[in-house]
Structure formats: C-alpha cells, structure tokens
Amino acid sequence: MSIRHAVVGTTLGDLTLVASGDALAGVYFPHHWTRPDRTALGDEVTAEGDRVLTQAATELHEYLAGARRTFDVPLALDGDGFQRRVWALLTEIPYGATTTYGELAARLGDKALAQKVGQAVGQNPVCVVVPCHRVVGKGGKLTGYAGGLSRKQLLLNLEEPSEVRLF
C-alpha cells in the first residue's frame, strides 16, 4: 500500500492528512503529541490529486463549518487490539456528547482500565475523524489532547448542543 500525505489548512491550523492505500491513516496537528516520524508519512502530495486525501479534507472542512456531524472517509487504523477497541468506542460517542475515560473503561468491562484507555485515546491516529476530543476527565474537566486543549475546547464548542448529553 502506498503511504502519502498532504498538508491542508483548516480553522484548526495546518493538518497533516496521511493516506495508506484507499484509506485515511492519520490526521496530525502541528506539534501533535504522537506525530510519527516524517519518513513514516510517505511522499508529500497535493490533496486535490488524491481521492482519499481530497475526501478527508472536504469532510474535515464541512465538519469544521458545522455542515457535517459524521465522517465517511474509509479508515486504516494501525494499533493493537485494545487500542482498536477503544477507538471503536470513540466512534460511537454522538456528536455533541461527551464521555469520560472511566466511563469508556467501564464499557470495556473494568473501570480500573481508565488510565490505559487514556493512553489509547492519546494514540488515536485520526484526531477529529475518530472523535477523541469528546472524552473529558472526571466531572467534565478538560484533559489532555494531542492537538492542545485550546483545539479540544474549540471542537467541543463547535458541537455544543442546546442541552448537555453524556454518552
């Protein structure tokens, strides 16, 4: 599978979108906590010349403009079994809702896994598309986000419902 990337300007700043074959494999902010080495990003291309990167960029722009609530771009998530289970739970958190690391751990069958869940959330390779920003600390406290807390707050404000809903 060919790996390639494009840098796309958004209201969140420049995002590096990474495609692997026919799927989106990464969305990274500048100064992202877990940004892969540049060699792992593949060749730089223009998003306009790549079907997957064009779709991802279009959907991200629509989401950030408030015109999209879910993403359809195919994903290629590289992680271990536990990470994939956590990331799958993230995709189930509805737009405008939040949950906590402890609640996700309980859904996995063991509240004691909250810290491990937090680590998996932090390793999410496709921020925004797999909505890790919807996970908050106990009591609704804003906690770590690979793109920075100001971006997390911006995303939560974008999705802010007329009433608070917990997942």
Please tell me the predicted confidence (pLDDT) of residue 58. Answer: 98
The tokens for 159 are: 């999705």
Torsion of CA 93, 100, 143, 38, to 10 degrees: -50
Please tell me the predicted confidence (pLDDT) of residue 102. Answer: 94
| CATH number belonging to domain 81-166 | 1.10.10.10
- Low-confidence residues of the chain: pLDDT under 50: 162-164
Domain ranges of the chain: 3-64, 81-166
| CATH number belonging to domain 3-64 | 3.30.160
Please tell me the predicted confidence (pLDDT) of residue 166. Answer: 56
Active site residues per annotation: 132
